[in-house]
Structure 1
Amino acid sequence: MNMLNKTTVGIAAGVAGTLFLGYCIYFDRKRRADPEYKMKVYERRRRQRKYQNAVRNASLNDYEALQRYFAQEINLGETLIGRGEFENGVVHFVNALGVCEQPTRILGFFQATLSPQVFAMLIIKLQEFSNRANAEMSGIPKIGSANSIDSGDKPVCYGDSSPSTILIDDLE
């Protein structure tokens, strides 16, 4: 009799599990077949992005939040570089430079403290960031190098003939 109870309980648990799984599959299929499902998902994601952008912009207007963000990114970059994760550390340094009031001063500090290879990675990431920012603002920019741009006596960054050319200096 004891064996019959264990068998009955096992069968009941199996049937309940199968019914629950069938229930989940049925309603998942019904949900996905809903013609407005994709629209609902799109709207929810759009609202989330809008909220995140609003929070990010609100924090960019708050000076103390900017200082905290700057310190946090510098600390994360230092920690990651200390662990040997140079790419990720450099990304955090670029994020910190993006909100910094005096980026040239911080770049001088980085040049003095970072190894030449890591500093070169930082410069390359900054150029990529600059290219992305320029592309978002005015289409896709042209990319040139110090050897290919003929600027005459004018500095390359103030050339009148092609203001959308971005200088990528050869690091070697």
Structure 2
Amino acid sequence: MISKTAMGIAVGIASAVVGYCIYFDKQRRNDPDFKKKLRERRKNKKQASKCGSEIPDLTDPELVQKFFLQEVQLGEELLAAGDLDGGIEHLANAVAVCGQPRELLSVLQKTLPPQVFHLLVQRLPSVGNVITNRISFKLTD
């Protein structure tokens, strides 16, 4: 069977884990900004899932190509479903990571309605800024 020392070690480890959980739960509950931080974290997570796009590592061509194709597909699906904002957001992400954005924009100009294309062109600078900020943030990490 199990020796007394092994049983004692197991009980000691279990009690240490439970004590650790109780201590940090108490610290969390006593933090005055906990609920505010939790709401902010949930809000950010909801916005990220709404956008549905996490910019990949731009140094990996395979990931960038996969991301590009995924964004074009999602953008087309959302536009077909009537979600202009979501579709434009995904298409703007695709244009931002595209190796030849001028060619892609000329194709999109021919295929999209003029007002949708105009909204896409208006969205491009903000998406470009987000991508450059993420790249600079990853470089400083």
TM-score computed with the length of structure 1 as normaliser: 0.46
Distance (whole Å) between structure 1 residues aligned to residue 31 and residue 120 of structure 2:
48
Q: Which runs of at least 4 in structure 1 moved beyond 6 Å after TM superposition?
A: none
Give the superposed CA RMSD. Answer: 3.6
Distance (whole Å) between structure 2 residues aligned to residue 30 and residue 65 of structure 1:
40
1:142-153 to 2 correspondences below 5 Å: none
Task: Name the residue aligned to 1:122.
Answer: 120
Structure 1 unmatched ranges of 5 or more: 1-26, 46-54, 137-172
Aligned residues between the structures: 95
Structure 2 unmatched ranges of 5 or more: 1-23, 42-53, 134-141
Task: Name the residue aligned to 1:7.
Answer: none
Identity, in percent, stands at 40
Q: Which has the higher helix share?
A: 2
Q: Which has the higher strand share?
A: 1
CA distance 1:65–1:119, shift in 2 (3 Å): same
Question: Per-residue displacement from partner, 1:81-113 (whole Å, max 9, x unpaired)?
Answer: 000101110000111111111000000000000
Task: Name the residue aligned to 1:169.
Answer: none
Distance (whole Å) between structure 1 residues aligned to residue 76 and residue 105 of structure 2:
14
Question: Per-residue displacement from partner, 1:39-64 (whole Å, max 9, x unpaired)?
Answer: xx8xxx8xxxxxxxxx966x322111
Distance (whole Å) between structure 2 residues aligned to residue 128 and residue 110 of structure 1:
19
Q: Which structure carries more relative contact order (alpha carbon 8 Å, separation 6+)? A: 2
Distance (whole Å) between structure 2 residues aligned to residue 88 and residue 113 of structure 1:
17
CA distance 1:82–1:32, shift in 2 (3 Å): same
